[in-house]
Chain A
């Protein structure tokens, strides 16, 4: 269960578990957390706790509610947030990290019974009868065969220019790469041009002719063939169907253009 630690001038006064759905904070005695100080309004703020999440809401207090130094009306509390009311501080401690086994259990999808929120629809009279004995014959954990239609390579728009278009798709921030890597064009109109591989995916080549993708993974950078009759050539050798790990100063050839891959020091 999440809790709050009440302190003033660095002195811990109290620990309050957030056991209720609504925990009120204010100067008046009927509040769950009473702070008898004139800077605190009679009904100052409330913390609404829904399962593992807690929300702080200011109840129109005179002097305001602050979280990590910023005034808030409504705030989704994160672990170690510091709520300030006048000279008092309330530190929000989210649920203690459970053990690995417990965490795995907890993360499993669970159903929130709809009965709690709305009346479930009346079962149709046929429901019971519809449950045929076939239930028993269904193979356990049957994974269905997935038939994939023949991959008809769609002839995409043809570019009139012959250079390799380096299309870095939209922004995306994934796990940081182990190292920073660059590509440098070794032939074509833009010889010498460099670009950094900042995205999780960078496509190279000409759509409809030959395309490869460089993926950034925690283990490093990999090149994979996407479309076209020819596979990209790395250091003079065509790569296989699966992803090919790139090493420092590898030379990639595709769609008639040479590119050097290297790690940035």
Chain B
């Protein structure tokens, strides 16, 4: 089914104020409900190669997969949703491609990328992430960070060594504990959430979340939620006004109305009796 009427998507990526090149990469396929953001690292221009590969492989492959199977289908044997399997397989594929390129081509040695993917289907969103690129959700007045970073800082917070406040002052912000393209296999973290009309989802690289605090991001979405393009511009501008030390990428997705799956025969029949 076509989701482009149910989802409003706006995005922007900017090199920031300090870096000359942009190693972030973003992509979306609104009609299939696919949104991907990757923050590359390593080498001269290799970071953007890694992030570009991740977003390209995932959008093209996921699009094909969704055309072939409905993501909400449940596999009777494993009890898993098709979406979970698709994400796992395609992330593995993208990871293998990046790893292969990094191993075989000297100019790409050591490249890698973080990833956050959101797949919208059947009034739900499935989120897969690796590293410190994040997904946030604004629902009503509540603005929360949905994904939990795979980073040294997050591990220290979990271990009780640091509070979230203290983490802002840490010098170890730049260390991720998981990334694509570094090892032959990678384990993404995948979760599914229900969506509601009016929800706004934010995917961003650490160039936003490190430069602008969560309250200000939430305030911006609250104030400018009616105009997603402006909200995206404003978020990037705030990151740059605060120093823009890293590439900044922002994708906003607003749920305009419900998008239940199964507009099939069963539902049509049911519809007659109402």
Contacts and interface: CB of A to CB of B under 8 A. Distances in A.
Contacts of B152: 50-51, 112
Interface stretch (A17-25, A32-40, A127-135, A255-263): A127-135
Contact of B172 (A50, A135, A213, A217): A50
Contacts of B53: 135, 138
A207 B225 CA distance: 10
Contact of A76 (B169, B226, B256): B169
B259 interface: no
Interface stretch (A167-175, A182-190, A244-252): A167-175
A41 interface: no
B226 A109 contact: no
Q: How large is the interface on A (under 10, 10 to 19, 20 to 34, 35 or more residues)?
A: 35 or more
B169 A78 contact: yes
Residue of B93, B229, B230, B237 with most partner-chain A CB within 10 A: B230
Interface in B30-63: 30, 36, 39, 41, 45, 48-49, 52-53, 55-57, 59
B237 to A, nearest CB: 7
Contacts of A114: 177-178, 183
B18 interface: yes
A211 B231 CA distance: 13
B262 interface: no
Contacts of B100: 128, 131, 135
Contacts of A124: 92, 185
Contacts of B5: 149
A143 B13 contact: yes
Contact of A149 (B30, B112, B171): B30
Interface in A108-149: 108-114, 117, 120-124, 126-128, 130-132, 134-136, 138-149
A50 to B, nearest CB: 7
A146 B26 contact: yes
Describe B's contact surface by its main secondary structure: mixed
B80 interface: no
Contacts of A138: 49, 52-53, 56-57, 97
A140 B177 contact: no
Interface stretch (B68-76, B121-129, B211-219, B265-273): B211-219
Nearest to B187: A121
Interface string B7-30: 111111100001101110111111
Contacts of B28: 144, 146-147
B234 interface: yes
Contact of B215 (A171, A203, A218): A171
B241 interface: yes
Interface residues of B, number: 92
A42 to B, nearest CB: 25
A95 B171 CA distance: 10
A141 B227 contact: no
Given A151-B229, A174-B242, A213 B223 contact: yes
Interface stretch (A60-68, A152-160, A231-239): A152-160
Contact of B52 (A122, A139, A218): A139
Contact of B27 (A117, A139, A144, A151): A144
Interface in B167-193: 169-179, 182-185, 187
A76 B135 CA distance: 28
B175 A131 contact: no
Contacts of A227: 226-227
Interface of A: 50-53, 55, 76, 78, 94-95, 104, 106-114, 117, 120-124, 126-128, 130-132, 134-136, 138-154, 156, 167, 169-172, 174-175, 199-203, 207, 211, 213, 215, 217-218, 224-227
18 contacts: A53-B170, A53-B171, A106-B174, A109-B39, A109-B174, A109-B176, A112-B177, A123-B184, A127-B185, A131-B100, A134-B57, A138-B57, A141-B45, A141-B52, A143-B25, A146-B251, A154-B226, A167-B223
Given A138-B56, A151-B227, 11 more contacts: A76-B162, A111-B178, A112-B152, A122-B185, A127-B185, A141-B52, A144-B26, A144-B56, A149-B30, A174-B212, A217-B237
